[in-house]
Amino acid sequence: MSTLALRIDKNLEVPADAGAVAVLHRIADESNKAIRGGKRIETMIPASRDSANVKRIDVDPGRWWVEATLPSGEIIADEVTVLAGKQADMTLRSSEPSPHEWLGWQHLMGNVEGFETFNHILEVAKRDPVGYARDVISKSLKGRIPDHVRAIVEGTLDTYLPRDITAGEAKPPDPFADAGAPVVRLCHDVDPIGLHGRAAWSGILAPSTLASPQPALKWSDQEGFHIYHFAAPASPPARDFALVEWGPERHIASLPLPWPDAFGGPGPKEVELMVRMHPLDKTVHLGVAVLDREFGTLAGLMTASSLPKARIFVDKARDMLFAKMENRLAAAAGGYVLLATGDPAPGAEWHGWIENLANRFPDLSDGAVLKATQLLRYPKDDKCYDDAKASLFQAFDRGIPYYSAGVAWLLDGLTLFADEDPEANERMKLVHKVAQRLDVSQAFTVIRLSDKAEPT
């Protein structure tokens, strides 16, 4: 038997066992004869700097095509020849490294672009606007009109756009020079009234700011990044939210705490919050990541186009996720992926897992949202709709879902019943106010509290 040893080479403070989802297929046999439509192998690949941290897979000899999808959505594809009875090593790398080693997880999750792209954006932000305008016009014309015509047009630009507007003058101001730092407070809410029902949905938009500011763990003032780590000893029914303020900008992020160690390790995992300031458009972007080598990357995969790859993750890890449900938040993430990617056939095994999740954790809004959504997507009869509505009401009463999909699906579910039931309509309106402020690009619930800055 031949073996393929796969790894992602990435600088991470905490290695990721599921650094990428890989699909392998054999494109040629030992004699290099092409194979079409052969069986594919789906697996997870670890990501770390440790060259010994590899995933070994027994394969038939021949040429193999390996396509790895990172939680950021980036696809790395390469091929390798595996000889009979031998091991072939394959190390895959992201097309661009993280801007900083300490942003490794945020880069892996897609919250930060790669080093080259990031520097390019930074350079564009700081560049002379006249030169920039010249570049854009020139590039827009390239290939669309003959070169000699383009040369004439570019020549006329000299009349209107001076070649070097900054000659002899000061450079454009550095947008980060007076950006300051964000203020981050941890709201550890143990008040059951404030966590549930209408109080939760109204209160999230006007949270208390009594908590003390948290110190940043790492930061870069020149680039607008601040990193915070949280490992609050929360236990249900407490909830932890990070309140972020920068100038007039205010955001609140639901922190997935406590996030237990799936293998009973020494205490729960840390949650990392990235606050990224964009001084030019006066906005703040938050990124939440769980530094858990087993399930931390699932949140990245469950957003946007990499969702089908998240399904592979969940299918591979379903025993760990759903058997004992030791990590209810990871199990909820798995539930979102299973429902979103769907199965054409109703009555699949996982339908029971979602029911269990809703019933075993009575303070978890996400579980009730998942149960309601499952009933709405696979209704057997009219009673399913009544049960779904009851579950939606339960989800509403349990408070703010940990996941942004939970807020969106709760809103969608309540919308279905809003015309026939005034109670559903009233709840829908409250959820809608929060949903309108939801950052849907994030897996975990992040809500903008301030109004958007007017464009300048």
For binding to other proteins (CB under 8 A), which residues are involved? 27, 36-37, 40, 63, 65, 69, 73, 75, 77, 79, 95, 113, 116-117, 120-121, 124, 132, 135-136, 139-140, 143-144, 304-305, 307-308, 340-342, 344, 346, 377-382, 384-385, 407-408, 411-412, 415-416, 418-420, 429, 432, 434-441, 451-452, 455
Instruction: Report the residue number, 418 or 443, with the smaller CB distance to other proteins.
Output: 418
Minimum distance, C-beta of residue 120 to other proteins, in the bound complex (Å): 8
DSSP 163: S
Minimum distance, C-beta of residue 16 to other proteins, in the bound complex (Å): 21
Instruction: Report the residue number, 26 or 293, with the smaller CB distance to other proteins.
Output: 26
Minimum distance, C-beta of residue 358 to other proteins, in the bound complex (Å): 18
By three-state DSSP, how is residue 12 classified?
A: coil
Instruction: Report the residue number, 243 or 410, with the smaller CB distance to other proteins.
Output: 410
Q: At what angle do helices 382-398 and 365-377 cross, to 10 degrees?
A: 160
How far the first Cα of the chain sits from its last, in Å, is 64
Helices (H), 296-455: 298-301, 307-316, 318-322, 328-341, 350-360, 365-377, 382-398, 404-417, 422-435
Instruction: Report the residue number, 198 or 324, with the smaller CB distance to other proteins.
Output: 198
Instruction: Report the residue number, 91 or 95, with the smaller CB distance to other proteins.
Output: 95
The secondary structure of the chain in percent helix, strand, coil, rounded to multiples of 5, reads 35, 25, 40
Instruction: Report the residue number, 171 or 380, with the smaller CB distance to other proteins.
Output: 380
Instruction: Report the residue number, 291 or 408, with the smaller CB distance to other proteins.
Output: 408
Minimum distance, C-beta of residue 212 to other proteins, in the bound complex (Å): 30
Minimum distance, C-beta of residue 27 to other proteins, in the bound complex (Å): 6
Minimum distance, C-beta of residue 298 to other proteins, in the bound complex (Å): 15
User: Which residues lie below 8 Å from residue 383, measured CB to CB, with a gap of 6+?
Assistant: none
Instruction: Report the residue number, 63 or 100, with the smaller CB distance to other proteins.
Output: 63
- β-pairing, 2-9 vs 55-59, is antiparallel
By three-state DSSP, how is residue 189 classified?
A: strand
- Phi, psi values for residue 207, rounded to 5°: -75, 155
Instruction: Report the residue number, 141 or 216, with the smaller CB distance to other proteins.
Output: 141
Instruction: Report the residue number, 165 or 193, with the smaller CB distance to other proteins.
Output: 165
Instruction: Report the residue number, 231 or 307, with the smaller CB distance to other proteins.
Output: 307
Minimum distance, C-beta of residue 165 to other proteins, in the bound complex (Å): 18
Minimum distance, C-beta of residue 325 to other proteins, in the bound complex (Å): 24
Minimum distance, C-beta of residue 197 to other proteins, in the bound complex (Å): 20
**For residue 87, how many other CB atoms are within 10 A of its CB?**
13
**CA-closest candidate to residue 123, choices 170, 51, 175:** 175
Instruction: Report the residue number, 266 or 455, with the smaller CB distance to other proteins.
Output: 455
Beta bridge partners of 240: 188, 255
Q: How far apart are CA 110 and CA 117, in angstroms?
A: 13
Helices (H), 47-128: 104-108, 115-126
402, 444 Cβ separation under 8 angstroms: yes
User: Which residues lie below 8 Å from residue 118, measured CB to CB, with a gap of 6+?
Assistant: 99, 112, 223
Using CA of residue 412, residue 417, residue 423, residue 425, what is the dihedral sign? Answer: positive
Q: How far apart are CA 59 and CA 69, in angstroms?
A: 20
Beta bridge partners of 91: 7
Minimum distance, C-beta of residue 233 to other proteins, in the bound complex (Å): 32
Minimum distance, C-beta of residue 34 to other proteins, in the bound complex (Å): 8
Q: What angle do CA 194, 198, 199 make, to 5 degrees?
A: 25
351, 334 Cβ separation under 8 angstroms: no
Helix or strand (DSSP H, E) at 195: helix 192-195
Q: Tokens 């949202």 sit at which residue? A: 369
**CA-closest candidate to residue 312, choices 100, 46, 16, 23:** 23
Minimum distance, C-beta of residue 189 to other proteins, in the bound complex (Å): 22
